[in-house]
Structure formats: structure tokens, C-alpha cells
Chain A
Amino acid sequence: MGAKVITITSGKGGVGKTTTTANLGVALARLGKKTVVIDADIGLRNLDVVMGLENRIVYDLVDVVEGRCRLRQAMIKHKQFPDLYLIPAAQTRDKTSVSPADMIHITDKLRSDFDFIIIDSPAGIERGFRNAVAPADEVLIVTNPEVSAVRDADRIVGLLEAEHKNPGKLILNRLKPAMVKKGEMLSADDVVDILALEIIGIVPEDDHVIPASNSGIPVTLNENSHAGVAFRNIARRLTGEDVALMDLETNSGFFQRLAKFFGGR
């Protein structure tokens, strides 16, 4: 029945939800999927700048909810990827201007015309989180290999249960393989073991990410970026393709890893 609605959430703030949403949107559009990304972080609009679309906003999500415009009027079409649209958040309002029922209503109107609807959730576990998660067919929980982020991710798992949602899938962002190797950072295995969730992607810490958001060109368009490749792999997995997890998802080169793998410890 048309689009799959995927919500990107985390509990803890600043772990990479907006970065993930922007990159998955672009990567899916590049795979030829008709995609809308929705910024549900009302009052702290950000997805627009990360995607380089901030100058084109006329109407926003709250305008749609309050009937000041039609849904189509609030959808900004990406110039480079005509299959990609953004619905921006309102900047001058708060989370209570939108209800979970509004989000379900809006996504239901979009489902028949799109393949993917990706929702960028605000941090926290309050109203904004519930708005973002209400219409989700699938929830992706972004976390970092760090105690507070993992703990908050576990809270989200519990809340999804309470909302009778499918268990989320995990995106581990900002992993530093060199630190993992030294035993100074939780590994992907550790985090999967602790949270008991399926993992759908490992995104390394990558110096290309900040320049990408500086210029409003998502990092997945940078062919030299490991994080970019990782986001592309997640997008492919979302389309049902079977992409092995470790390929290119760490900082170390493939041959380096091979050498380690065969050359013993």
C-alpha cells in the first residue's frame, strides 16, 4: 500500500538523527525511490539547512496542520533529485502544534505517491517523539557508542513497546574503529549485545560530515566519505537489498582488514 514510513529517533539529542534523515533521503532518491523527508522537530528546524533547502521554504508542517496551505504547497522539491521532497518544521511554534493523529493523517495522504517517507524526530521522549513515531511502519534508533546514548536508546525501545510498535532497528553512528580496537570505545557487538536489537547500519565518525552540513550537501554525495558509503548501504538495506554489514563501514581499508583477519591478531 505505497510508501513505507520510517522514523529516525534516538532519545538523546545530538547523536545524528538529522544527519541520518538527510542522507537516507538523498541516498534513497539516488536509488530512484520517490522519497519525502519530514522535519518533525517543531521549533528547532534543521533538516532544511543540512539538505541545503533553507532558502526555498514558504510553508511548513504546522501551516499544513492548521490549514493555511495544502500539503503539496509545503513540499519542497530537491533540484538535483526531483524524486526527493522536504516538508520543513515550523520554526516559531512548539511541539504541541502538531498531534500524533495529524502526523498519521499527513503521511496517509502521501503514502500512495511515494516509496519512502522519512521522519526526523526531535530528541526526547515527550510529545515530539510521540508525533514522530505515531505513523511509523519502522523505527530506526540512532545511537552513539557511548553510555548515555545507549541508555537513552534503551528507553526508546521500551517506549516503542508501550506504543505497540515493532522493535526498532539500530544505527550506530560516530564509531571510531581505532578506539574500539584499543578497547576505549564500545564496539558494534557490545552495543548490539546490550540493546538486543537488530542493527541496520554502522556509520563511522567522519571529518567529511561537518563540511557537508556546512555546505548543505549531504555527505552521502561525497564519494570519498566512509560515512557517506555507510548511509548509502543503509538506504540499500531499506529497499530490501542484502548488503553485508562490515563492507566499507569502518575507517580502515578493506585490505588492511583482510590482512588483520588472516594475519592473526
Chain B
Amino acid sequence: MNDIQIIIGGAAGDGTKATGHLIGKILNRGGYKVFIHEDYSSLIRGGHNFSVIRGTKNGENCIRESADFLLALNEDSVDRHIGKGGVLIYNSDQVKKRDGIGVPAETIAKEEGAVIMKSNALLGALCKIIGVSWELIGDVFEGFPHSEKNLKVVRRVYDSQEEKGKMKKTKESLSLITGNEAIALGALEAGMENYFAYPMTPSTSILHFLSKIKEAYKINVFQPENEIGVINAALGCAFTGKRTMVGTSGGGFALMTEGISLAAMSETPIVVVESQRAGPSSGTPTYNGQADLNFALNPGHGDFLNLVFAPGDAEEAFYFSNLAMNMSWKYQIPAILLVDKDISESTFSFDKNTLKGVKEWKEKKGRNSKGYHRYRITENGVSPLVYPGGKAVVKSNSYESDEYGISTEDPQMIKKMQEKRMRKERDIKEDLKETIKIYGEGDKVLFCWGSTKGAAIAAGREAGYKVVQILVFNPFPEEKVREAVKGCKEVVVVEANSSGQAAEILKRYILVGRKILKYDGRPFAKEELIEELKK
């Protein structure tokens, strides 16, 4: 099998997510590239949660409409997903008899000593059917809480089924990480020493992840009183020379805007992760959207430069979070890493070699002596950095200032300083090598960005489209975009918002034919997008 999709669903608290991850791990060790999509509500108990685990040989980071297996913990899960085909493996303690494989998951789990592991009972049946060796199952349960008890449950069900396929274990498997983990790791590789955040889904798991590993990585994690506190504390911290990142979603980003403008004016480096949910306002916290693009491009008052990067999977999230930190310090400007829920919280296969492509760039330092001028006017607009605590007096300012950092209202100085800051754009553009990516070829072009990348590549391949992914939105790679559509017959843009924000930006540079928009919080499935493209 080159392509397998498994859906596991139940109530919040049923453990479907943990079991989904174990399945992902098994597929990963079986040589598949894995993509896991999480669907859950903004509540703590009850509701309907499900994970879609997709394993492909060609690495398609999107879900399909059809499933090969449905693992249902309750009646609700069966009702919602049954029409999608595949083998039903269900918890017969809660679901009435259906066509499929009934497993008395609760009874078995109870007999073995814990109700919480019932979702793993269904995993036992799945593994036997697709031919996962018992040894491999043992491997992936290593380190899992109460692994022995869990394995007992799995074994009982595993033994009750018949093998219908065979899955071989690979020697070297990829890593499985979420987009948010990748963002954190990328920043760490660029020397991040501080992460400040106020919880807001879907960015929160960066805060959780870094809080867990802060000792091992020797970094500070700080949760201030609100997002205004987050950004202002972060800028104070960066002023002392410490690389700092903050993370939030649209609402918190709104509160940070005055601080982002301050970062630009005071030329204080900062990386802001903006993980979009479906908005406006509180919107739908746990569902996906891409409607903050225009906001990220205009994140504060005044005329200033800021970077906007929009990675489309975990490897890109890692790479661009690293680049955002490095470039923010090189040019002393705010860098915004714009992701969305389906990047942040989805799990991806991650090639360890991605690590080799990144490093920490050292910022340009000045002489730590009495004559230091924080805002020295230079040819490329970048003034060398010095941090407080030495001979130099370092004066950073939110007001317009002279070269030393003293507030000014002098018309010539105002003009000179504004020009100095804007001048950085020239070198920034030169530094940015990979601003778009092109997949496939042909005279029909499909533009995508962020999480729509996965479905766009998968669907584009089958519907005969050349896919162009925009990774850098600011500064906008207009020449490359023009180049990419040269001689093409049709341009389609796919994105997860209702107005076509990326499409409207593209229209400034090229002719755009059609927008395929989705704004119900759900990701594009491969078949769905193929159908849209064929219309």
C-alpha cells in the first residue's frame, strides 16, 4: 500500500489523540511519510475529537476524504465518518453492532486495569490487520505511560484478529513533530534564549513545549500578564542582547501591534509567531483559518519594514523560524512567522537533515566604548549593536531620535532616520534566497501558501497544475512570481479565507483567474481540491 488513511474518533478525554500518535509512529517506522490532522473542539470533556492519520510514500501532507480504516470509540464517531469507506473497527461496548470489527474495548481495558487505554485496544486490531509485527508495536510503546499494561490490552485484541497485509520496518525512520515544535526548535537553533507568551490556541503548544524543555535547553520561558506585557517584556529582553521570541494568535497579535511598531522604531529585534485560527474576534479557536495575512503585513502604525514568512510544513516551519530569528537580528527589524492551526498542531514527518541547513548568524556588533551611537547612520541602514552593561551608553528610543538615541523633532533628522530604517530592504531582499517554491510543471498554475500547500501539491499533481507556494510575503517576491507564471494559461489561488487575501496581493503583479476559498475552519481534502480544480 502506498497510501493509507486512518481516522480515530471519540469523545474528548478518550485518548484518541495519543493513540493516533502511536499509529503515526508505527506508520513512520513502517517507512511511510506521516501527516496527522487533529480535529477537536474548544472544550475539556465530551464533544467529538478525531485524528486523521495519513501515511504516504510520496509525502502528501494533507488528508483524503476517503479512509481505509475508521477506529470509532463511540456512536458519534461512527455516524460522522462512516460514509467515507474503509474498515470499521469499533468499540462494541458503546457502539451497537455494525458491519465491521467490534472490539469490547472498555471491557478489556477494565479487565487489564485502566479505562483510559481503551483507544489502544482498537489499535491492536488495526495493527494485526495491516500486518505490523509485535516487535514494532513494542518499540513504539517504549516510554508511553503504563506501557506494560497498555501492551497487554493491545496484545489481547491483536491476537484475536487475522493478518491481511504486511508492513515492514525501515532501518532509519524520520522524526515526527508538530509544526509548533518545529518553530520552537528552529528558533533554538538560531540562539533563542527566551520565549515569552500568553496562552492562545493554536500557538499555546509552543509555550507548553518550551516550558517542558526549558531546563534542558537553558532558556527562560515567561508568561506575563497579557500580550501587551509579552511584547514589551520581550523587547526589553532583546535590548540586552538576548534572542527572544513571542507567540500568539490573532487576538493577542492585535494587542501586540503597538509593541511591534515600537520594535521597528527602536530597531529592536523580535520574532513574533502568529498562528491563525478561524476569525474574526474569538472566532473558532481550534479550527483553521488564513485570514490574518493582511494583518501580519500591516502589524502596526507607521511606515516600517517587517518580515513575514509563511511556512507550509514542519520542515519549513523549522527553517523559517530559524531564518526569522537570524534576519531579525541581522537587520534589527520585527519578523513575523505567520502560520495557521493546521501547521501549528498537525504532526509531520521531519527529516533530521533539515538541521544541517541552518545555523545561528551572529549579529553585527559595535565597539563597546564611550563614543557609541545606537542609531549610527550607515550605508545599508543597519547600525552596529552594543548591549547595556559596558562602557558604551546604549540609548534605544520609541520616539524618533538622533544617532545617539536622544528624542528629536528636527525635520531633517526625522527624514534621515526614516530613510535609514527603510534602506535595510535592499540587503534583506538579497539575503532571501528561497521566497517561493515550485512543484511540477505545466501551463496551469495553482498558487498556495501555509497549510494549503499539502493539498495543493497533492491535488495539483493529479489535476495537472504546476503548484507555486509563496513562503515570503514581505518583502514580496514579485519578480519570482511574475517569472513563475510566464506563458501560463490559467492562474488559480487556493487559500483558507473568504476574501482571497493572497490572491488580491498577487493581482498587483499578475493576472489571477480564479480563487478557491475555504473558510469553514476545515482543511482541504485532496479529492475536494481536485474536484474544485476540475470545475
A and B bind: no
A-side interface residues toward B, CB under 8 Å? Answer: none
B-side interface residues toward A, CB under 8 Å? Answer: none
